[in-house]
């Protein structure tokens, strides 16, 4: 059957990524340390950009009335739908300035996962499920909440028909992402995902898979006699299987965490004053920038010479960078203030008072896209009298309680930790007993959820705690 060629016209919408949009999105998702490096590169590359000091004077140059300068809006949104307001304008001249087209991949684990998500062909609902799963991944690459918890959260966000089976299907696709082992719900699943990614011809792959699935506690206790008997291996084979498992990464996401073990600079400061809690930007986090007045004074309005064009282009880049940084700070403050307003109980009383909070709550309150809120809260830190916290720390899923009350998963984990710390020395509390204690406190949660939270806290089982004592 012959194929007939034809032309079809399809109408659709597409986001136009202006250079300014790329720059602002890149700035928004960078940590403070990474942003400092970008600013330093801009200072080194752009003679029209200068760093303020305490003796610098504010100099107003290149206003829109100058005619030759492209208009820069007073209010520069950093939300995801910029192209609805700011159309793509061709750049003049050949100078490109510093590289602000850097994607989030490589900047953080969440950014790397979101970058891979953008390559998947998913429905709108499945894409929302995938974003929820990514938000629930901790710095080591593990899911911090159960699928049932996240399913209930999605239903409250309007995805009424989502079920656990559908979330499992989306999760199975995300578990193919790099780093291999991410999106695991426990250590066994993490190692299994990495073993499944190995070539089938890998020696002793099958017994390694079986060991990880069924006998991981025995491996941790170095019970070689049980392992040899149950797996049918001799000493040499068991040693080879053990070495294969030890070659895997139990924390696949840790390589992407650019701040662990390093110096963390808080972006926001929370203080309690005479009029309540106040939130402000950390004045020491980033250098203050200005237009270099001496070079700006050399620009001639009607001069189209190569030198004058060079100064004009770099002045335009400097002005856009300063405005983008200002908008980044404004967005960070808006989101931070809304988070603090909703978590005042935590600031007053600690983790046990943490309130349930999801990205959609903040996005609706500040009139932004959830993806924007996710970028704002990743690798951005808030210093409080209780310590230094990443903004994502304040988000947690909601679990039901008695009398229609709700509790955050963070608060429940804090209670579990407190119960264990106060347990009798000779009588460690079992997961069932912890479930009962939580129920007595008005928190209804399944025993398997208690076990998951206990493991996430690094607390051994009651039998292991009894042996250690």
pLDDT of 360-397, one tens digit each? 888 889 988 877 888 888 889 999 998 899 898 888 76
Q: Where are the alpha helices (DSSP H) in 197-272?
A: 205-214, 216-220, 224-231, 235-246
User: CA-to-CA distance for 144 and 409, rounded, in angstroms?
Assistant: 9
State yes or no: pLDDT of 447 exceeds 60.
yes
Q: What does the block give as tokens for 100?
A: 């602000």
State yes or no: pLDDT of 9 exceeds 80.
no
Mention every residue, 6+ apart, whose C-beta is less than 8 A from residue 422: none
pLDDT of residue 184: 92
CATH assignment of 398-468, given 1.20.120.10, 2.70.70.10, 1.10.10.60, 1.10.3720.10?
1.10.10.60
DSSP for residue 402:
G
Taking residues 115-126, report their average pLDDT.
79
Taking residues 114-130, report their average pLDDT.
81
pLDDT of 32-81, one tens digit each? 888 888 899 989 998 988 887 654 444 333 333 343 344 455 555 556 44
pLDDT band at 399, cuts 50/70/90? low
User: CA-to-CA distance for 264 and 31, rounded, in angstroms?
Assistant: 9
User: Cβ–Cβ contacts within 10 Å for residue 219, how many?
Assistant: 18
pLDDT of residue 31: 81
Pairing of the two strands 381-384 and 276-281: unpaired
Mention every residue, 6+ apart, whose C-beta is less than 8 A from residue 276: none
State yes or no: pLDDT of 336 exceeds 90.
yes
User: CA-to-CA distance for 379 and 28, rounded, in angstroms?
Assistant: 10
DSSP for residue 318:
H
User: CA-to-CA distance for 11 and 52, rounded, in angstroms?
Assistant: 49
Closest CA to 444 of 435, 453, 433, 452: 435
Quote the mean pLDDT of the chain.
78
Taking residues 412-424, report their average pLDDT.
87
The radius of gyration computed from the CA coordinates of the chain, to the nearest angstrom, equals 27
DSSP for residue 443:
B
Taking residues 2-10, report their average pLDDT.
55
User: CA-to-CA distance for 132 and 171, rounded, in angstroms?
Assistant: 10
Crossing angle for the helix pair 370-377 and 124-135, to the nearest 10 degrees? 20
- In b/e form, how buried is each residue of 439-456, taking b as 16+ CB within 10 angstroms? eeeebebeeebbbbbbbb
Q: What are phi and psi of 51, to 5 degrees?
A: -100, 130
- Looking up tokens 């792959």 gives 205
Residue 390, beta-bridge partner list: 381
pLDDT band at 13, cuts 50/70/90? very low
User: CA-to-CA distance for 148 and 409, rounded, in angstroms?
Assistant: 13
Least confident of 3-12, 15-24, 246-255, 390-399: 3-12
- Looking up tokens 């049932």 gives 148
- Looking up tokens 């070079």 gives 295
Mention every residue, 6+ apart, whose C-beta is less than 8 A from residue 8: none
Closest CA to 428 of 398, 465, 401: 465
Q: What does the block give as tokens for 144?
A: 């911090």
Q: CA angle at residue 205 from 204 to 207, to 5 degrees? A: 70
Residue 275 and residue 131 in contact, taking contact as beta carbons nearer than 8 Å: no
Q: Counting every residue, how long is the chain? A: 469
Residue 51, beta-bridge partner list: 289
pLDDT of residue 171: 93
Share of the chain above pLDDT 90, in %: 14
Q: Roughly how many angstroms between the first and final C-alpha of the chain, as a whole number?
A: 79
Helix, strand, coil in percent for the chain, rounding step 5: 50, 10, 40
User: CA-to-CA distance for 392 and 410, rounded, in angstroms?
Assistant: 12
- Residue scoring higher pLDDT (158 or 260): 158
């Amino acid at each position: 059957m012959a194929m007939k060629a034809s032309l079809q016209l399809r109408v659709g919408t597409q986001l136009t990524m202006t250079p300014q949009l790329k720059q602002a999105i890149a700035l928004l998702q960078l940590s403070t340390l990474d942003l400092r490096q970008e600013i330093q590169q801009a200072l080194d590359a752009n003679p029209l950009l200068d760093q303020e000091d305490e003796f610098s004077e504010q100099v107003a140059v290149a206003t829109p009335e100058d005619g030759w300068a492209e208009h820069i809006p007073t209010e520069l949104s950093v939300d995801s739908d910029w192209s609805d307001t700011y159309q793509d304008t061709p750049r003049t001249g050949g100078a490109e300035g510093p590289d602000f087209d850097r994607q989030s991949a490589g900047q953080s684990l969440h950014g790397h996962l979101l970058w891979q998500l953008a390559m998947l062909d998913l429905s709108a609902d499945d894409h929302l499920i995938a974003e929820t799963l990514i938000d629930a991944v901790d710095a080591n690459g593990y899911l911090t909440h159960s699928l049932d918890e996240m399913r209930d959260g999605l239903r409250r966000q309007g995805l009424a028909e989502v079920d656990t089976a559908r979330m499992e299907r989306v999760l199975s696709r995300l578990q193919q992402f790099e780093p291999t082992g991410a999106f695991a719900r426990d250590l066994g699943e993490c190692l299994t995902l990495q073993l499944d990614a190995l070539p089938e011809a890998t020696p002793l792959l099958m017994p390694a898979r079986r060991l990880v699935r069924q006998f991981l506690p025995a491996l941790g206790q170095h019970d070689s006699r049980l392992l040899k008997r149950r797996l049918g291996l001799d000493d040499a084979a068991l040693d080879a299987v053990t070495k294969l498992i030890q070659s895997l990464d139990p924390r696949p996401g840790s390589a992407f965490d650019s701040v662990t073990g390093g110096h963390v600079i808080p972006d926001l400061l929370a203080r309690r004053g005479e009029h309540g809690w106040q939130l402000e930007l950390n004045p020491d986090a980033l250098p203050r920038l200005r237009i270099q007045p001496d070079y700006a004074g050399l620009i001639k309005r009607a001069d189209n010479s190569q030198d004058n064009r060079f100064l004009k282009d770099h002045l335009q880049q400097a002005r856009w960078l300063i405005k983008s940084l200002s908008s980044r700070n404004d967005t960070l403050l808006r989101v931070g203030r809304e988070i603090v307003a909703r978590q005042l109980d935590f600031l007053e009383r600690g983790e046990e008072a943490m309130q349930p909070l999801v990205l959609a709550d903040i996005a609706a309150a500040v009139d932004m896209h959830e993806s924007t809120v996710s970028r704002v809260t990743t690798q951005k830190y808030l210093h409080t009298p209780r310590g230094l916290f990443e903004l994502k720390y304040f988000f947690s899923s909601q679990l039901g309680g008695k009398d229609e009350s709700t509790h955050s998963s963070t608060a429940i984990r804090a209670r579990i930790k407190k119960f264990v710390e106060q347990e009798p020395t000779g009588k460690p509390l079992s997961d069932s007993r912890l479930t009962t204690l939580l129920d007595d406190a008005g928190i209804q949660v399944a025993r398997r959820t208690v076990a998951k939270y206990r493991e996430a806290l690094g607390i051994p089982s009651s039998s292991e705690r009894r042996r250690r004592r």
